[in-house]
Amino acid sequence: MSAALLAVPPRGSPSGWVVVVNATAGRRQGEALGALIRDTVSAAGRQVSVRLVMHADALETTTAAAAAHARALGAVLVGVGGDGTLNTVARAAMAAGVVFSAIPQGTFNYFGRCHGFPADPAEAVAAVLGGQVRPVQVGRLNGRIFLVNASFGLYPRLLEDREIFKRQWGRSRLAALGAALLTLLGHHRQHLIRLQAGAPEAPAQERVLTSSTVFVANNRLQLEQVGVPEAAQVEAGRLVGLVLRPLGRGALFGLALQGALGRLGEAHAVERLVFRRLQIEPGRRWWRPRDVAVAIDGETVRTRPPLVFDVAGEPLWLLAPGRAP
């Protein structure tokens, strides 16, 4: 953990739980998860409050109210859902100055798996009950945190296609693969961009290049799976960026195959960057800035360039299974 992230943890012991369950995928499943958490945590002698979110547009307001409740109680704020849900709950926990924890329920669960959370909900609850609080690095894109990754270009388009497949075929890795193939077959816009990468204490190195995608990772496991040799850097106070050079459809399929085989680090079409701060702006200065689509932990939002990726100065305080490293 970088020395810059060794901040003072929130005051109080997270003996109570305030839980936000994303039940938009199914009320019955959400209620069952909520009951499991309530019964298990209560049986352990801890105070617990569970809030179900039935509609996606209620997630932000429900989470904000839950964070305020957790702060008043000195409790841990627990998110139940995929990486996008965990991002929302983690942002609220940092804003309220409370400890965060998770019961991961997504398709890939990169955040949960990287920090040792079991995939089974009952096992995850038990593991968190026996866990310890530790500081965790988070990235930011224009001030908005990300736990796993953030990007612009081709990847936000992939997420939009994934939503189409999810509505038709349900949430699964097979549906995610189908969405990826649909995206690769589509039109890929190339962006002329200016990159300034480095650390706050050192002069930034500036380059101008053309790319369809800039992908920034804050998750060691995800980088290891696709074979990026700099994966360990995200646990040393850095972020890792992947810049995709212009490619045709056939070459993109080949690149996707290399990633699936864990050999992306061998791809000459991908430039790898390690940094604490990366600024991206249009390569043509006369180009009038407008909002662009970006992906943050699996959710698409819009923001205004320049795009600034950096390591947050304050850590996320995470109640995670096992002993703190």
User: Lowest mean pLDDT: which of 53-57, 177-181, 232-236, 304-308?
Assistant: 177-181
Q: In the chain, what is the straight-line distance between the N-terminal and C-terminal CA atoms, in Å?
A: 9
pLDDT in tens, 102-138: 999 987 899 999 999 999 999 999 999 999 999 999 9
- pTM equals 0.85
Query: Vertex 172, ends 171 and 175: CA angle to 5°?
Result: 95
Mean pLDDT, all residues of the chain: 83
Asked whether 297 and 304 are in contact (CB, 8 A), the reply is: no
DSSP 235: G
Does the domain spanning 149-311 belong to CATH 3.40.50.300? no
Q: Spell out the domain ranges in the chain.
A: 3-144+315-320, 149-311
Tell me the three-class secondary structure of 259-285, residue by residue.
HHCCCHHHCCCEEEEEECEEEEEECCC
* Average pLDDT rounded to a whole number, residues 153-169: 59
- Going by pLDDT thresholds of 50, 70 and 90, the confidence category of residue 9 is low
pLDDT at 141: 97
What's the rounded Cα separation, in Å, for the pair 20 and 71?
A: 14
pLDDT (tens digit per residue) in 147-157:
999 998 876 66
Any idea which residue has 């991002």 for tokens? 87
Cα–Cα distance between 26 and 78 in angstroms, integer?
A: 19
pLDDT at 161: 53
Cα dist from 239 to 81, 236, 297, whole Å: 24, 9, 14
Decide if pLDDT at 27 tops 90. Answer: no
pLDDT value at 183 more than 70: no
Give the model's pLDDT for residue 320.
95
DSSP state of 4: G
Beta bridge partners of 287: none
CATH of domain 3-144+315-320: 3.40.50.10330
Angle, CA of 73, 74 and 78, to the nearest 5°: 95
Question: Can you give the pLDDT at residue 211?
Answer: 83
Tokens of 203: 């002069």
